[in-house]
Structure 1
Amino acid sequence: MTSPSNSPGFGNIRPDRGGQAEAFDAIGGRYDEVFPRKEGQVAATEWLAGSLRPGARVLDLGCGTGLPTARRLADAGFEVVGVDLSRTMVDLARANVPAARFHQLDMADLYPGGSRDLGRFDAVTAFFTLIMLPRAEIPLALEAVGRLLVPEGLFALSMVEADVDDFAIPFIGTTVRVSGYLRDELCEVVEGAGFEIVGESFTSYAPASADTKPEEQIFLRCRRKWER
């Protein structure tokens, strides 16, 4: 995995991923055990599947184990590429979705001036991916998504509604740092990055783990508004 810390696309941002990949390496397949129901994510994925042309290219950012998103899209005949920071998650995704391609990369490797070019995509998903970034980095991540998309490309994302920034929480037997927004602020940040929000939904979710608190999940269905 390459380091994005010297990428010219960062400006003054120097990403700190300390412990994040290791946490998800330790969690592994337990993630799907703690989050067995993913109704909001499934619904957003179905929106993409029903909106894209046959054979469209889709990038799954923070793909995790590949379930359910990458598998559903690959089964639908789309060209699916997945990216995750965790080596264990990438290995699980490759086993779960052999028809897709997966890369162990920091999302920042895809930023302007980053170390990897995966081409352009008809759609991008980021389900509970941006929460792993500090708030200062999220607008840059959204800008990168816009650059990865073709004109009028689709973007499905989800966040946990919370007014926090790079805040350490217990999570499935380990600790991760998370960020979040309240609903109106999240919409403002997403729209400010050049996306039209064409649909949204909310889900109250109680994970199957005593150390993982119930959460309010926000799902946004978006379209890239202008050429970059």
Structure 2
Amino acid sequence: MSRGFIEVDYGSDETVPEGMGHDREGQAEAFDAIGDRYDEAFPYKEGQLAAAEWLIGALPAGARVLDLGSGTGLPTARQLVEAGFEVVGVDLSRGMVDLARKHVPGATFHRLDIADLGPDGPHDLGRFGAVVAFFSLLMLPRAEIPDALRTVHDLLIPRGLFTLSMVEADVDDFKIPFLGNAIRVSGYLRDDLRKVVEEADFKVIEESSYSYAPAISDVPPEEQLFLHCTRRD
């Protein structure tokens, strides 16, 4: 299903600070263990590739793009770098960040908490012409998704673009088996997803969906929702 993006890189000692929930730590450990098997399980990313192509056609040359939940860097960060954009990726998993740096040396990757990316946070990465969040917001409980969307809004320049994808499912912080590990996921039905995005001051300008069957048996088929949005100012 997805990559995540909720954790700060606190240094080589791998210390998780007091207050960091075990679920978040467990999500990171699950994706550390999954590694390259993620791309093996999801080899065909038609919707994700098409969504990035839409963004490439809509952005000016050389725009800065933030990839939230950048995973292994494939295919999105590489696709955007090859199109000539300045790409910054952040992810929950140290293992995923290491793979992304290997796969896409032309981008910059960080292990950071989205809550620390805003203008008042300790890791202000600046502003971006676009943000992509492909299957990363679903790693959050629903109660945290509106705040994450508002952070995305703040990271964008005026009229900046936001492209996201979720799996269509009416679930909240639901535990599932995933590539031999356990992760917790949330989802929305499509009308509810549009509503929560619009309530975060985005205008949805295009949407699409794809039926997807992963290449392995322990991950069920899914309906993938893609929204292309612009920031309301």
Assess same fold via TM > 0.5.
Answer: yes
Residue 16 of structure 1, CA deviation? 4.8
Read off the aligned partner of 1:32 and give its amino acid letter.
D
Contact 1:111/1:141 (<8 A) preserved:
no
Read off the aligned partner of 1:199 and give its amino acid letter.
E
Listed as ranges, the gaps of 5+ residues in structure 1 are 7-13
1-side partners of 2:18 and 2:204: how far apart?
A: 31
2-side partners of 1:4 and 1:161: how far apart?
A: 33
2-side partners of 1:80 and 1:101: how far apart?
A: 6
The answer to whether residue 214 in structure 2 is matched with residue 207 in structure 1 is: yes
Q: How do 1:65-104 and structure 2 match up within 5 A?
A: 65-104=72-111
Read off the aligned partner of 2:232 and give its amino acid letter.
K
Helix, strand or coil: the match of 2:66? Answer: strand
2:42 aligns with 35
The count of corresponding residues between Structure 1 and Structure 2 is 220
1:21 aligns with 28
Instruction: State the TM-score, normalized to the length of structure 1.
Output: 0.92
The answer to whether residue 123 in structure 2 is matched with residue 116 in structure 1 is: yes
Listed as ranges, the gaps of 5+ residues in structure 2 are 1-8, 11-15
Output one character per residue of 1:71-110: Cα deviation in whole Å (capped at 9) or x when no partner: 0110111000000010110011111111000001122322
Q: Which stretch has the larger CA shift, 14-23 or 145-154?
A: 14-23
Residue 196 of structure 1, CA deviation? 0.5
Q: Percent identity?
A: 68
2-side partners of 1:131 and 1:15: how far apart?
A: 17
Contact 1:23/1:176 (<8 A) preserved:
yes
Change (3 A) 1:4 1:144: farther
Change (3 A) 1:107 1:62: same
1:135 to 134, 138, 142: 142
The answer to whether residue 165 in structure 2 is matched with residue 158 in structure 1 is: yes
Instruction: State the TM-score, normalized to the length of structure 2.
Output: 0.90
Contact 2:118/2:155 (<8 A) preserved:
no
Helix, strand or coil: the match of 2:25? Answer: coil
Residue 112 of structure 1, CA deviation? 6.0
The answer to whether residue 197 in structure 2 is matched with residue 190 in structure 1 is: yes
1-side partners of 2:84 and 2:212: how far apart?
A: 30
Contact 1:156/1:220 (<8 A) preserved:
yes
Read off the aligned partner of 1:176 and give its amino acid letter.
I
Helix, strand or coil: the match of 2:95? Answer: helix
The answer to whether residue 58 in structure 2 is matched with residue 51 in structure 1 is: yes
Contact 2:130/2:160 (<8 A) preserved:
yes
Residue 4 of structure 1, CA deviation? 8.7
1:10 aligns with none
2:154 to 147, 161, 164: 147
Helix, strand or coil: the match of 1:196? Answer: strand
Contact 1:90/1:102 (<8 A) preserved:
yes
2-side partners of 1:122 and 1:46: how far apart?
A: 15
Aligned-residue CA RMSD (Å): 1.8
Read off the aligned partner of 1:144 and give its amino acid letter.
T
2:188 to 181, 187, 197: 181
Change (3 A) 1:119 1:31: same
Contact 1:161/1:181 (<8 A) preserved:
yes
